[in-house]
Amino acid sequence: MRIDLYTLCWNDADMLGFFFRHYDRFVQRYVVYDDGSTDRSLEILHAHPKVEVRRAELNSNPDSLVLSGLQFIESFWKESRGSTDWVICTDIDEHLYHPHLLDYLATCKKEGITIIPALGYQMLSETFPPSDRLLCESVTMGAPWVQMNKLNIFSPDAIEAVNYSLGRHLARPTGDVVAPDRDELLLLHYKYLGFERTRRRHEECARRLRKVELENGWCHKWRWSREQLQEDWKKFERELVDVSQPNVKPWQSHPAPRWWKPYRISSSIRVLGTDGALR
C-alpha cells in the first residue's frame, strides 16, 4: 500500500522529529511546502530521504494567509492521482492514529471506502516531551474536540475535490465519496505540549496574520492573553481521557455531530456508470 503525505511547514523544527517518527511507519513519500522557515526546519527536512521540499507560495490572496493556504491545500495533493492508494493532507501537529492503521486502511480500501474522517482530540501535556518519543504512546491523554473532526486521509483517485472550510474543520468532498459506518480513526492534535511553549507559538503565529484574518477575527486563539489560554487549557484538562485504552470506544463516546454522516456506506447511493464502475 502506498501513501503520500502533503503538509505545510513554518518554523516547526521542534515538532518535526515527532511528526516523522509517527508517519515514517506508514508513509512512502512526503511533499512538504515550507513557508520561509527561519529555524532548523529546512535542515531537518532536507536530511530526510523521503521528503521533497518545496517553497510554499501563499499569495493567491495577499490580504489573507488563511485563504491563500486553503486554496493551496485544495490542489497540492492531486499530483498523487494514479500512483497512490491514499493521500494524507495534514498539519505537522496532527497525528492520525489507529492501533492497526495499515490493516485498517487495507480493509477500508477493500470495502470501497474513499474518505476516512478522523475523530479529533486535543492532546495535552504540561511539559514538552523528550524528542525521542512516539507521541501516540507517550502522550495519550486528550479531550474529545468536535472542531478537530477532520478529513485528513482520502483516495486521490476517487475524490474530485475536498472543498475544505476554513481551518479544514469541515469538508464537502465530491466524486465517489464513501465514509466508514464506524469511526475508528483518530486525529491526535499535539498543540498543547507545555503551556509556555504553546503561548510563545501563538504569539509567533499571530505576527503572521494578515488584514482579512484581523478584520474577521480568524485565528483568534493566536491572539489570546495568557489568562484566556489558561482558561482554555483548564477546560480541556477537565475532559481528558486516555485514548490508548480500548474501553474508550471513540465511535460511541466521542460527541456528535459527524459532518460526514451523509457519506457513510449505509447512507451512500452508489450506482454503476456506463463503464461498469461504481459512481
pLDDT of 274 reads: 32
Report the percentage of the chain scoring pLDDT > 70: 96
The answer on pLDDT for 276 being more than 60 is: no
The pLDDT of residue 161: 96
- 276 falls within a domain: no
pLDDT for position 47 = 98
Q: Is residue 269 included in any domain, yes or no?
A: no
What global pTM score does this model have? 0.94
Which of the 8 DSSP states describes residue 93? T
Helix (H) or strand (E) holding 202, with range, is helix 195-206
Domain count, the chain: 1
Can you give the residue range of the structural domain that contains 54? Answer: 3-263
Helix ranges (H only) for 208-279 are: 211-216, 226-237, 250-253
What pLDDT, on the 0 to 100 scale, is given for residue 269? 47
Find the mean pLDDT for residues 42-55. 98
- Distance (Å, rounded) from C-alpha 229 to C-alpha 223? 9
Work out the angle between the directed axes of helices 195-206 and 226-237 (0-180°, nearest 10). Answer: 130
**pLDDT grade for 68, boundaries at 50, 70 and 90:** very high
Q: What tens digit of pLDDT does each residue of 151-191 get?
A: 999 999 999 999 999 999 999 999 999 999 999 999 999 99
Taking residues 123-144, report their average pLDDT. 96
Within-domain flag for 45: yes
User: Is the confidence at residue 105, as pLDDT, over 50?
Assistant: yes
DSSP string, 129-183: PPTT--HHHH--EEEE-GGG-B--EE-TTTEEE--B-GGGS-B--EES--B-SS-
Residue 112 included in any domain = yes
Is residue 185 assigned to a domain? yes
**Reported confidence tier of residue 277, pLDDT bands at 50, 70, 90:** very low
Residue 278 lies in a domain: no
Res. 268 pLDDT band, cuts 50 70 90? low
- Which whole number is the average pLDDT over 32-49? 98
For position 250, which CATH number holds? Answer: 3.90.550
Does the pLDDT of residue 272 top 60, yes or no? no
Cell of 170: 469541515
* pLDDT recorded at residue 273: 33
103 is a domain residue: yes
Q: 102 pLDDT exceeds 50?
A: yes
| pLDDT above 60: residue 52 | yes
The rounded mean pLDDT for the chain is: 94
Give the tens place of pLDDT for each residue, 77-100: 999 999 999 999 999 999 999 999
What pLDDT does residue 114 have? Answer: 98
> Does 277 reside within a domain?
no
279 pLDDT higher than 90: no
**Nearest-CA neighbor of 158 among 47, 78, 227?**
78
